Structure 1
Amino acid sequence: MGKTIELWKRNPVECIKELIGNPAFKDDIKYAPEQHFTSPDCNNHIFNEMWTGEWWWDIQKELPHNATITPVILASDKTQLSTFSGDKQAWPVYLSIGNIRKSVRCAPSARATVLVGYLPVTKLECFSDSRRALEGYRLFHTCMHSLLEPLIAAGKQGVRMVCTNGQVRRIYLIVAAYITDHPEQCLMACCKENHCPKCTVKPDQCGELLNSLLRDPQETCETIARESHGQKPEKFEAQGMRLIDPFWQELPHCNIFACIAPDLLHQLHKGVFKDHTVKWATECFAGGAAEIDRHFKAMTHHPNLRHFKKSISTISQWTGTEYKNMEKVFLGVLTGGACSPAVLRAVRAVLDFIYYAHFETHTTDSIIQLEATLDAFHENKHVFADEGVRDDFNIPKVHSEVHYGTSIRSLGTADGFNMEGSERLHIDYAKQGYRASNKKAYVKQMTVWLTCQETIHQFRSYLAWAEPMSTSVDVPDDEDDEDLDDDNEEEIEETSNTYSVAKEPGLGQVSIKTLTETFGCTNFLCNLEDFLCKSTHNKKLPKVAEHMYEQTRFAVYKRMKVDLPAARQVSCINGRQDTVRAMPAIPATIHRKVVPSHFDTVLAYEFLPDVVGSDKVDPLEGQSIFCIPETYGRFASKHPLAYVEWFTPLQTICPDTGMFKISPSTRRHRHRTAIIPITQIARSCHLIPHWGHVMDRTWASADILDKCSSFYVNPYLHHDDFLLLQYLQSQSKS
């Protein structure tokens, strides 16, 4: 029996020529390695882009003087094309280069990652069952060797290319990173799936914190060659090798085992967290999955948090977004005493590792913290064995965490090699082309369709570069133009540094009575009088405010947005904003269901941010955001105000969870309330109730903030929160 298969490929050298000469990347490309440090003493190294890693420096020393390196980044992953029936699949191979900034490289719209081929997807029925798997592995390596063959000469001799700045350089193309999931990592490493594709650790020692040697490419090729000649070397079985002719053995300066990049999606989110940690912690939890579901249903709301109102046990198809939303609250779900402290410490270590691994900029110190969280997990993992949940921890995905620190130091941060990017590219380079075909000989039709789409995109890009379109704004007359500028200046001044609100309040006229009854502003009138006296530095109220009563009305905003400070560990994007809501419930109508109320909790400065020593933030709950007329006080009219209920300061830290524990602040046995300018609000925060050994069955997410007496401040809501409440806290202690 025989079978004819097709490999669709493009010349990777020509694709790289187009990428490195594309003028659209002129401001986002580097041609030489760099070293960045946090201080002049050069002790704390900064790692973010690929050119800040150690790999580029090491390879640069092996090449001729003034040689320019282009690190080639490959990615491959099978994807399902047919949706409800059929088994149509495609196996795209993508290519990008490490010279391009990762924020551009990982953006599908930038087209800095290109499709270089479709590997054949076949069941190989022409082989017997015993040989079929091995022949499939050999087919993969044969196709990849054919696909990447042009890189052999380009890596040894270099290729002259025109770069984005117009200079002609001799560029050496060297495979530096390969992005794929664990089965394909083992496939290209020529090893069995119960082994680590990067190092020589034994399968029965994967659960231990061992520093094993990386696999050596030359030694691996020699061992496979000896096995093929019948010499039976011990390392062949000990390292779980397969009898395959590796596609990478001729690629110059390529250590394929060091090229294997961290896979945040499959290794951490899906593997370590969802498939293992959640399962183990649930079995150790008093009340089991049913009690955990109750905690998820009663969890407090936040605009950036998915509320699992139907619990988590009913979800059959999980996505990466759902994994991440579950991670944000899972440690808080376990608090309250229903599981042992060691379980909390182990789960906390897993979550901390995931959040550290997501840093967009690492330093030597943060990598040390990353590796410390791994140590903490291995110190506490014994609790799962003690509870009878797990006998051993010899899981390759759990072991893969050992290599994260080394990979970050070598290739840059892990967010530049996330499999989520490849999953997203499947839509543009596989699924849309398949849908445009007639589903017969679809790979050929997909390539034709993609060629047309690329041609159109290239022509549009050329037109945009050659003749940039100019936009004009019609201005009625000079007087209106001056008025418009004045209004813009006032608007910018009002919302410039810390916040932004709608141009017009969402609720135009709201009485004090409504604020008290509907919004929960119980001491609104007293707090407003205190604020006006303090803001005007006068013991007496302004005359217009001396006769306020229940029907006095104010304009109320439904939400505001707080400008978050720049943080290199979290994002390289400026202008990020955080939403804070203060919305009462909207009753149901014939055509609409009831809309529940949303009063978000925030962290606010104790005093105005421009006051010396006001960097301390405390948690509070915002009940309303309103503005008052200028006649009530000049200072009061400058910014909208917020009616808030204070919580106790951030002082007590739970040693097992690392979270701040707070409770409502009281004065004379009543909630301590105040009215503050919204400029004192630093960011939103998320409070997790202290559940106790058994959750009160009357608690629900709509009113749990009022019924519960103590809370934890969630450090996992945003990566900004983790940076502020975990990483910076640990740095200040050290």
Structure 2
Amino acid sequence: MYYPFTSKTEWEVVKWVKLHGSSSTTFLDLLSIDGVKQVVITGEAFDVYYHDIIKCVKSLYSDLDFARYLTFAPEWHYTDEDQTVCLFHDMHTGKWWWEMQKKLDEHCPGGTIVLIIISSDKTQVTMFCNKTAYPIYLTIGNIPKEIRHKPSCGTHILLAYLPTTCLEHMTNKASCCRTIANLYHACLCRVLALLKPAGLDGVLMHSGDGALHCCHLLFTSFVGDYPEQLLATGIKFRECPKCDVKAKDTGSNMVPFHLRKLGEVLDALAALDHGNLAFVCACATAGVRPIIHPFWEDLPFANIFWAITPDVLHQLYQGLIKHLLGWLSAAFGAAEIDTCCRWLPPNHHIHIFTKGITCLSHVSGAEHAQICCFILGIIIDISLPDNLDVSHLLRSVQGLLDFLYLAQYPCHSSETLHSLDEALDLFHENKEIFIQLAKDAYCATNHKDEFIQMTCWLEQKEKILWHLKYVTWCLAGGHQSEPYHSHPPDMTFRHELVMTRHPSAKAVSIQKLVEDYGATHFHEALTCYITRHSQSGHPEPLQDQALENLAGNIHFPFQSLPVFHKIKCKGHVTLDSVHAKPQQRSGSRLVAHRCHLVANNYLPTRLAIFALPPKSIPLLFPPTFDIPPHLAYIEWFTPFPSTPDRNNGLYKLSRSMRSSDRVASVELVGDIEHSVHLIPRFGDIAPQEWTSETVLDDCNTFWLNSYIDRHINNFANLAQEGFPDVQQPRALQLGAR
């Protein structure tokens, strides 16, 4: 009878909103509606709006879209037949579910656990006069994370809106904070109250496939940023919401720590029955705030300190990386770091900060993630003041970045978790360099208004060092060091290549390929490719000189070729893109051709993607040869070194040259596996004539950027374990003729 409203409560609330004015009885009329609840704290009433949590869980559990993906029991996953290396990639593969299943079976054998995940984040609603909303969301861990993490799948339900208030009438700040915390927990107690009987006694629920389960709804995880974690656990600011490490010891890896003991905390909370003073003292001893009945106190099998989840955005990007940028700016100088940032070569994954990174304010998590992609590479060759050893600083930065990328692996094993510990140990072993640099700045002051003085001291020293580097570079003739040569590891990316149906340019002349696309030796490279494959049935492989002689007799039956400017590489979770665009004129400025380097056994310095006209193929190749639809002109870098640099963990590369000319060839586009990014070796001071658009041509030596994304980072970690030797591609020296 209340259609189109879903319930009587919804109809009554909407009617109240539309018909009632701001009279003295308006608020009482709202509270008289069945379903609108009120929480009273220190004599003040607050409204809390929420759904029935059991109905919300049932709607997710019985959703037909999730039926085939739901998990109902814990599992062990292994990487080997001997079951020595465990895999952890979702909630049903973790240890928590196993332990809870054992506890539940002791209480109620055969029950199915439904993992309740609660998340919250106070939101600023700028469209409504800067008002705040406090939403609480619900999802269940029985739905795989690959589905839960996609907002479009509808796996999260808006469970409640908590009241937001600053309690401005309370002048005592400590009392105000305690009251807000108690309000938060009192509201959540009301919202989650039905979880207590549902967790102990179970609820009959149908899954999407029609099967009936006796489900026990257990509070499992709480997702929120650091302030939310402190509010939920009752832990004081600057302390860890999960373990018992002291605030002063959070920067050390030598102090032992353990998960906070829930039993001791519950005992302290029970001291409320013995009076306020005893309650406050007991809570202080247990290391928690004096919260009256936190929402998790009576939830069955719940441990709030287990439930807190890591926060990559705030704790790693906005926390760890923010501090790292400040340390590096103080160590190397903002000007030199910003210069190197502006001159990085473009890449599909890289954002070029044209104004540098040290001047950014209110840096977002996405911007911090972008900075992580290149920060190590741009500081490798910059010198520290007082001739301090830069290797310790590079290793500490490498350790932090490795930890950051490892922590975001979608699937962990007992081995990768060990690597996570090793990365953190690498930082702690070398972090003293940051302390030493800070002490140098502090000692140069008179210890009064030291922050202002330290800033001036660092700025002056930075300018001196900057000019010193410039002078040193000029005296050295402005040349880069000699290229580095060694042997390549085999890259193991596996992506599906996707080409556009139609070329970006239907008819590009060979002359334009040479001039605008940078394909300097295109004619010679293509003739060698044709010669090599037209002789594929020869009983003995022809030598390079013989191939070159035959290649000189080949004439192209075409004047122009279709050219493609982009390749998409689709992987399991990422979409990569490789660009090969011609140079263009932007007003009076000539914009250089754009090439995103691609990975197989070698790296190209230049790339042009094209196809051969179908009518010309029978004239150039034997009938038995299956010509691929797309080819690529490539000028090569040297092979990968067998090991990365010991100070920074990156691979050093240089141009592949033969007789003072570049090595080039035509290869299959199918050999392209992933775009990569190279960071120029800037030296002590970056040459002023370099630009982002020309640096790939101006610089001779580069660092392979292994922090472009976690897949490249995973390759770099695997590469250090050793790769089999690979054969050098058949690339003839083409420039001599």
| Aligned position for 1:511 | 509
* Matched residue SS, 2:349: coil
Separation in structure 2 between the aligned mates of residue 661 and residue 521 of structure 1, nearest angstrom: 24
One-letter amino acid matched to 1:297: R
Equivalent residue for 1:175?
219
How does 1:112-511 map onto structure 2 within 5 Å?
112-130=155-173, 131-209=175-253, 210-226=255-271, 228-231=275-278, 236-237=283-284, 240-245=287-292, 246-274=294-322, 276-285=323-332, 288-339=333-384, 340-388=390-438, 498-511=496-509
For the 8 Å contact 1:345–1:657, the answer to whether it is kept is: yes
Deviation of 1:33 after TM superposition, in Å, equals: 0.7
Instruction: Quote the Cα distance in structure 1 between the aligned partners of 2:403 and 2:167.
Output: 41
Alignment counterpart, residue 24 of structure 1, candidates 49, 65, 86:
65
Do structure 1's residue 618 and structure 2's residue 602 form an aligned pair? yes
What's 2:682 paired with? 691
Q: 2:452 matched to which residue of 1?
A: none
**Partner-residue secondary structure (3-state), 2:602:** strand
Alpha-carbon distance in 2 for matches of 1:669, 1:598: 24
Q: Which amino acid aligns with 1:114?
A: I
Distance 2:237 2:715 in 1: 39
Q: 2: distance between equivalents of 1:57 and 1:621? A: 52
The 5 Å alignment of 1:624-703 reads 624-628=608-612, 629-630=616-617, 631-633=619-621, 635=625, 637-651=627-641, 652-703=643-694
Distance apart, 1:548 and its partner CA: 3.7
Match of 1:561 among 556, 568, 579: 568
Q: What amino acid maps onto 2:610 in structure 1?
A: F
1:96 is aligned to 2:94? no
User: Residue 713 of structure 2: which of 695, 704, 722 is its match?
Assistant: 722
- Within 1, Cα distance between the matches of 2:169 and 2:152? 41
Deviation at 1:386, TM superposition (A): 0.9
Residue 460 of structure 2: aligned partner: none
- 1:170 maps to a residue whose letter is C
Q: CA deviation at 1:553?
A: 2.0
Contact 2:644 2:720 in 1 (8 A): no
Q: Does 1:6 align with 2:54?
A: no
What whole-Å deviation, never above 9, does each CA across 1:169-194 have from its counterpart, x for those lacking one?
11111111100111111111112112
Tell me the distance in 2 between the aligned counterparts of 1:577 and 1:78: 32
Unaligned stretches of 5+ in structure 1? Answer: 393-495, 605-616
Q: Distance in 1 between matches of 2:590 and 2:135?
A: 47
Secondary structure at the counterpart of residue 296 of structure 1:
helix
For the residues of structure 1 that align with 2:595 and 2:344, how far apart are their CA atoms? 14
Equivalent residue for 1:460? none
Whole-angstrom distance in 1 between the partners of 2:206 and 2:172: 51
Matched residues in 1 for 2:226 and 2:352: separation? 31
Which of the two has higher C-alpha Rg? 2
Whole-angstrom CA distance in 1 between matches of 2:382 and 2:146: 42
Contact 1:602–1:622 (8 Å) recurs in 2:
no
Deviates more, 1:647-656 or 1:231-240: 231-240
C-alpha distance in structure 2 between counterparts of 1:518 and 1:728, whole Å: 36
What TM-score do you get using the length of structure 2 for normalisation? 0.77
**Aligned AA for 1:258?**
W
Could you say which residue in structure 2 is the equivalent of 1:711? 702
Match of 1:600 in 2: 596
Q: Which residue of 1 aligns with 2:457?
A: none
Give, in angstroms, the shift of residue 313 of structure 1: 3.2
Residue number among 55, 80, 92 corresponding to 1:39 in the alignment: 80
Deviation, structure 1 residue 324: 1.1
Identity of aligned residues (%): 31
SS at match of 2:45: coil
Equivalent pairs counted in the alignment come to 603
Q: SS at 1:5's partner residue?
A: strand
Change (3 A) 1:597 1:150: same
Assess if the C-alpha contact under 8 Å between 1:690 and 1:711 holds in 2: yes
Shift of 1:235: 6.8
Would the aligned equivalents of 1:46 and 1:361 in 2 still touch at CA under 8 Å? yes
Q: Which amino acid aligns with 2:650?
A: M
In the TM superposition, what is the alpha-carbon distance from 1:207 to its structure 2 partner?
A: 1.0
Report the Cα distance in structure 1 between the residues aligned to 2:285 and 2:440, rounded to whole angstroms. Answer: 25
The Cα shift of 1:230 comes to: 2.7
TM-score by length of 1: 0.78
The match for 1:428 is none
Report Cα offsets for 1:29-67 as digits up to 9, x if no partner. 111111110111001101011000000000100113211
1:251 shift after superposition: 0.5
> Where does structure 2 lack aligned partners over 5 or more consecutive residues?
1-41, 385-389, 443-493, 539-545, 725-737
Q: 1:589 to 1:336 in 2, by over 3 A?
A: closer
| Structure 1 residues 731 and 80, CA gap change in structure 2 (3 angstroms) | farther
Tell me, in whole angstroms, the C-alpha distance in 2 between the residues paired with 1:94 and 1:17: 15
- Shift in alpha-carbon separation, 1:111–1:370, aligned structure 2, 3 A: same
SS of the residue corresponding to residue 649 of structure 1 reads: coil
Sort the Cα spacing of 1:370 and 1:216 in 2 relative to 1 into closer, same or farther, 3 A. Answer: same
With over 3 angstroms needed to count, the CA separation of the structure-2 counterparts of 1:594 and 1:114, relative to structure 1, is farther
Structure 2 letter corresponding to 1:203: A
Q: What's the counterpart of residue 445 of structure 1?
A: none
Counterpart residue identity of residue 719, structure 1: R
Measure the CA separation in 1 of the matches of 2:383 and 2:285.
43
Deviates more, 1:683-692 or 1:624-633: 624-633
Residue 203 of structure 1 deviates from its aligned partner by 1.2
Distance in 1 of aligned mates of 2:554 and 2:245:
79
Amino acid at match of 1:641: L
**AA of the residue aligned to 1:585:** Q
Q: CA 1:714 to 1:234, structure 2 compared with 1: closer, same or farther past 3 Å?
A: same
Partner deviation per Cα, 1:435-462 (whole Å, 9 max, x = no partner): xxxxxxxxxxxxxxxxxxxxxxxxxxxx
Verify: 1:111 aligned to 2:111, yes or no. Answer: no
Provide, for residues 558-587 of structure 1, a one-character-per-residue CA deviation record: whole Å limited to 9, x for no partner.
1223454x5xxxx4xxxx553211111222
